[in-house]
Amino acid sequence: MDRPGGRSLSLGAVTGDDRRGDGLTRDDLFGAVDGAQALRLLQDGNRRFATGHPLGLPADTAATRRALAERGQFPFAVIVGCSDSRVPPEIVFDLGLGQLFVVRTAGNVADAFVLGSVEFAVTQLGARLVVVLGHHLCGAVAGAIEGGDHGPNLRAIVAEIQPSLDAARLTDDVVTNCEDANIRHTLAKLKGSDVLADLAATGAVALIGAKYDVVTGEVDFWV
């Protein structure tokens, strides 16, 4: 079945077949979609979502599920996003099973668990694009700005946002600039990973920031 711009795109890039995994080996699928192609797939999917024309889940979800179980997963992109219920990556990029490797925390902050998860996705699963996806109206950022103490665990999240807040306080739009700085901060932490930095230096992996507008549904990719 040919569905231009449709689902199972990582397979489509290899065979033109819509059924990811059929007849393909790990070598066929690992890293089959490069960073530039992955970015276009995310842009296309977000455009479908934001304009109200998502493809939704394909009719052959069961076949895709079986193929992924048999062949393994080879997601083409990693999303490091906020846990905010309004920003689910698979939905805002109109994608499905096996296509995105998603790591979410409140405020899209990154600790060792997040960094290790991203490293796993690129070295073991072949993802070639990593996107730090922040968003406007971020509650974690708002919480950091408001202050107050909600215990040691939330304090750890606020501490990650604090450097961005300190810089943004000097500007005339504290909220927006704190959100943006926080995306850049997490991106810098990813680039500080030796594993990711080495892969980025060779061009094998691209790391970018992006910001989602919870009103329009549009993602602004920082490229």
Q: Where do contacts with Zn ion occur on this chain (CB under 5 A)?
A: 82, 84, 138, 140
CA distances in angstroms from 203 to 63, 124, 160, 200, 206, listed in the order given: 34, 17, 28, 5, 7
**Is 125 or 132 the residue whose CB approaches Zn ion more closely?**
132
Whichever of 42 and 140 has its CB closer to Zn ion, that residue is: 140
Rounded to whole angstroms, the Cα distance separating 199 from 178 reads: 29
C-alpha–C-alpha distance, residues 57 and 136, integer Å: 27
Q: Do the Cβ atoms of 130 and 118 come closer than 8 Å?
A: yes
Nearer to Zn ion by Cβ, of 64 and 108: the residue is: 108
CB of 161 to Zn ion, least distance (A): 10
Closest distance between Zn ion and the C-beta of residue 145, in Å? 13
Instruction: Select 121 or 157, whichever has its Cβ closest to Zn ion.
Output: 157
With b meaning 16 or more CB within 10 Å and e meaning fewer, what string describes 170-183? eeeeebebbbbbbb
User: Which residues on neighbouring strands pair with residue 82, listed in sequence order?
Assistant: 105
The CB-of-82 to Zn ion minimum distance in angstroms stands at 3
Please report how close the Cβ of residue 129 comes to Zn ion at its closest, in angstroms.
21
Q: What does each C-alpha distance from 214 to 55, 72, 92, 137 come to in angstroms?
A: 20, 33, 10, 7
CA distance 123 to 78: 12
Q: What is the CA angle 124-46-189, rounded to 5?
A: 45
CB of 162 to Zn ion, least distance (A): 16
* Closer residue to Zn ion in complex, CB, 65/136: 136
Least Cβ distance, residue 138 to Zn ion (angstroms)? 3
Structure tokens at 4: 């231009």
Distance CA 198, CA 153 (A): 32
Judged by CB, which is closer to Zn ion: 138, or 165?
138
